[in-house]
Amino acid sequence: MEIKIPFRKEFEDDMNLGIKTVTSRTKRYGVAGDTFKAFGSKFLIKYVVKLPLWMVAQYLHRAEGFMSSDGFIFCWKQIYPREGYDPTQVVYVHFFMRLKK
C-alpha cells in the first residue's frame, strides 16, 4: 500500500543517496511492504520496530541522517518542541530503502 510520510527538506539529498534509511516517529506510519514517495523518489518500508529514543540517538543517528547523537537530539527537539527529547520515550522506527527508478 502507498502511504504518506512527511519529511523535512534537509533530508532530500541523504534520502536520494541512500544515506538516510531510517525515520523515527511518535506514531506508526506504515508496515513492511508499504511504499511512499518523497523528493521525487519511491521508497519501500523494510520493517518497523519500537525502540526507546535513546537507542535511536545512540545507535541509529547515522541511518537517521546525522553525524552525531547530538545532531539527532537537536533535530528531535526542533520537531517536537513541546515534548522535547525524552530518552525513555518509545518511538516507531521505520527502516526503508530507495527503490530504483
Tell me the residue range of the domain where 13 lies. Answer: 2-98
Burial class of residue 10 (count of CB atoms within 10 Å of its CB; 0-12, 13-18, 19+) = exposed
pLDDT at position 100 is: 84
Q: Phi and psi at residue 17, in whole multiples of 5°?
A: -90, -5
The whole model's pTM is what? Answer: 0.94
Query: Is residue 73 scored above 80 in pLDDT?
Result: yes
The mean pLDDT of the chain is 96
- Who's near 28: CB < 8 A, 6+ residues apart? 48, 92, 94
* CATH number reported for the structural domain that contains residue 83 in this entry: 3.10.400.10
Total domains, the chain:
1
The whole-angstrom separation of Cα 101 and Cα 42 is 8
* 72 half-sphere exposure, CB direction, 13 A CA radius: 24
pLDDT, mean of residues 9-21:
95
